[in-house]
Amino acid sequence: MVDLKGQYNKIKDQIDTAVIQTIESTGFINGPIVKEFSKSLEEYLGVKHVIPCANGTDALQIALMALSLKPGDEVICPSFTYVATAEVISLLGLTPVMSDVDPDTFNITAEIIKPLITSKTKAIVPVHLYGQSCDMEGIMNLADEFGLYVIEDNAQAIGAKYTFSDGIEKNTGTIGHIGTTSFFPSKNLGCYGDGGAMFTNDVEIAKNLKMIANHGQEVKYYHKVTGCNSRLDSIQAAILNIKLNHLDSYSSSRNKMAKYYDESFSEISELSIPKRQHNSTHVFHQYTLKILPELRNSLIDFLKENNIPVMIYYPVPLYKQEAFSNYVTSDFTITNVEELCNTVFSLPIHTEIENSSQEFITQKIKEFFNK
Ligand SMILES: *Cc1c(COP(=O)(O)O)cnc(C)c1O
C-alpha cells in the first residue's frame, strides 16, 4: 500500500548519516535531537508545544490522562476508526460513546454528535480519517457550548490544513485542546519503528502531558501522579527530523495520485471517489473509495489476482467489536457506519509516484468494470 523502500532510497544519504551520528553520540534516549525535532514540528504546525511519546496510541492515552477525567465520564468518538481511538478511553475506565459519521467525508460532525451529549460527557475525540479534517469549527463551537475537551486524533492527517469561516487557517491537531499523532512507518510522517506525539497550545496541559509521559515526575524521583513511560527514541527523532522537511512534498505527491485516480474512475458509476471537504486540505493517508457492497469482494479478488494491494479500512464498526460489547446493546447498529464497513476499500497511495504502477492499477480497475 506504500513504497517505504523507494522513499528511503531518495533520502538514504541524509538518513544514514543522521542515524550513524545518533548511534555514535550514544544519546539513545532523550538526546538533543529529540528536542530539536519537537521544535521543528512546533514550527511546522504552528503550535506552542509538541511533546513526543512512544506511539500514537500512547499519545491518545496520555492526552486523556492529562485532563483529570473520572471513571464513568463519557468520551464521544467515531465508531468508524482505528481501534486505538476507543481503546484508550475504555482502558482508562472512561465510557466510549461511539458515534455515527458523515457517509461522504467519513468523519464526525457537530450535528451528528450533538444528540449524544449528556451530563456525563467530558470530551470529544474527532478523528481526521484518511487525511482530511473533521468540521472543526462546528465541533469546537459545540465543545465551547457544553464545556467539553477536544482531543484531535491526527494520526492520519498530519500536514492537513483546516480553514475557519473567518479565513483563519490552522493545521489539524492544533485546533482542539490537545492533538495527537502517530509516526508508525506507514503514516504520512512515519519513522522506522514506533513513535508518536502530542500537541497543545496550553502551557498547563503541556506540563501535564510531559509529566505523565515521564512516570508522573517533573523532578527526577519525585512522582506527582501515576504516569507511564512513553518516549520517542533519538534514532527515530533523527529520522523524523529529516523526513519532516519532505512532508509537504509527500502530501503533494499523494494528492497527484489521488487526482489521477479521481479522473480515471470518473466514468465508473459503480464507484464513488472520495469527497473533498471544502474547508480542509486532504493529505490522502488513504485513498478510499466506495463500491456497491455486492461488487466489493469480486473486485478485491480481481485486484489480488493481479497483485494489486487493496485494503479495507475498516471492516467492522467499533461497537461490533467484542472488546466494546459492554458499552452497547447487542442489537445496537448505525446504518451509515454499517454501510461504510461494507462498501469502502483503499488503493495504494505513494509518495514516489514513479514507482507506483498507478496506470496499471487504474487500467485493471477499468477492465473489471468493462470500461
Ligand atoms: C495509527 C493510528 C493510531 C495509533 O497509532 P500507533 O502509533 O499505531 O499506536 C491511532 N489512531 C488512528 C486513527 C490511527 O490511524
SS3 letters for 10-65?
A: HHHHHHHHHHHHHHHHCCCECCHHHHHHHHHHHHHHCCCEEEEECCHHHHHHHHHH
Q: Specify the ligand 1 atom closest to the Cα of 195.
A: 7
Q: Specify the ligand 1 atom closest to the Cα of 156.
A: 15
Ligand 1 contact, 230 CB (< 6 A): no
Ligand 1 contact, 61 CB (< 6 A): no
Topology of domain 4-99+107-244, CATH: Aspartate Aminotransferase; domain 2 (3.40.640)
pLDDT for 354 equals 80
Residues 6+ apart with CB under 8 A from 266: 273
Q: How many CB atoms lie within 10 A of CB 10?
A: 12
Residues of the chain with pLDDT under 50: none
The DSSP 8-state label assigned to residue 233 in this structure reads B
Top-tier CATH class for 247-369: alpha beta
pLDDT for 95 equals 98
Determine the Cα–Cα distance for residues 52 and 217; give it in Å rounded to an integer.
16
Q: Specify the ligand 1 atom closest to the Cα of 58.
A: 9
- Domains of the chain: which residue ranges? 4-99+107-244, 247-369
Pocket test for ligand 1, best of 80, 182, 236, 286 (most atoms within 8 A of CB): 182
Tell whether the torsion through CA atoms of 323, 324, 328 and 334 is positive or negative.
negative
Pocket test for ligand 1, best of 2, 89, 127, 156 (most atoms within 8 A of CB): 156
Q: Are the beta carbons of 55 and 259 closer than 8 angstroms?
A: no
Tell whether the torsion through CA atoms of 332, 335, 340 and 341 is positive or negative.
positive
Ligand 1 contact, 260 CB (< 6 A): no
pLDDT for 290 equals 98
Determine the Cα–Cα distance for residues 131 and 156; give it in Å rounded to an integer.
5
155 CA distance to ligand 1 middle (Å): 5
For the stretch 285-320, pLDDT in tens is 999 999 999 999 999 999 999 999 999 999 999 999
Q: Specify the ligand 1 atom closest to the Cα of 184.
A: 7
